[in-house]
Amino acid sequence: MDKPNYKQDSNKIITIIILMGLILSLVLILNYKSVNISYIANLPTDDIDNALITINLPHHEIHEGEHFTLSNYIILGGSASYGWLFLPTGDEEIHLVISAENSVHANYTFIENPIITNNGTSMTYFNRNRLFPDTNVLKIFKQPVFSGGLNLISKDAGDGKKVGGSNRDSNEIILNPNKTYIIYVENLAVSDNTINYIFDWYTH
């Protein structure tokens, strides 16, 4: 009488279990409500070389209605200063980039968690997807009254220079939703200083 080949039987059982697992996984994927098989089968491609068309996360957040912008300019008199308060009101991550350009010598400071005694005047910003409302967890105010805080960034900018920029790899800061932030600019010249600025952020 032949002895049972337990090793061979064990390998068969393991193979069957693996196949059943693969089949079950495939069934779950095909029936998962967020998977659109017709979309997967029709991924967008470039008309010339059929390369897959993709977008980065910040661009995706525009499509989702979670990307916002505020831009304007101010004219500071000689040796004057100006500030903006960034006040998170939720628990979402706020991915912020700042761009500013001054006509004459200026200094910029980015301050975390100062003591705020007056928020200042609320500012209006816009959703970059005009199909969505202009509301977000981040509130921005101009000319707040504050003191103290941690100076995260201090940047001296000569005549006609820029600070920050749209390159997120170099300039993005993710705000802590439990803290407040101030951007403070000082005119280091005796003449008027025109400051053009853009605040751009998405929540995630």
Residues 26 and 72 in one domain: no
The predicted-structure confidence for 78-90, as pLDDT tens digits, reads as follows: 999 999 999 999 9
The region, left, alpha or beta by phi > 0 then psi within -120 to 50, assigned to residue 61 is alpha
| Eight-class DSSP state of 42 | T
> How many domains are contained in the chain?
2
Tell me the residue range of the domain where 132 lies.
57-203
- Asked if residue 46 belongs to a domain, the reply is no
Residues 100 and 72 in one domain: yes
Percentage with pLDDT > 70 across the chain: 83
The predicted-structure confidence for 3-56, as pLDDT tens digits, reads as follows: 555 556 677 777 788 888 888 777 676 665 555 555 555 666 766 667 776 778
Residues 111 and 72 in one domain: yes
Residues 36 and 77 in one domain: no
Residues 36 and 65 in one domain: no
- Asked if residue 51 belongs to a domain, the reply is no
Segment 110-115 mean pLDDT? 98
CA distances from 47 to 42, 61, 108, 124 (A): 13, 25, 46, 40
Percentage with pLDDT > 90 across the chain: 64
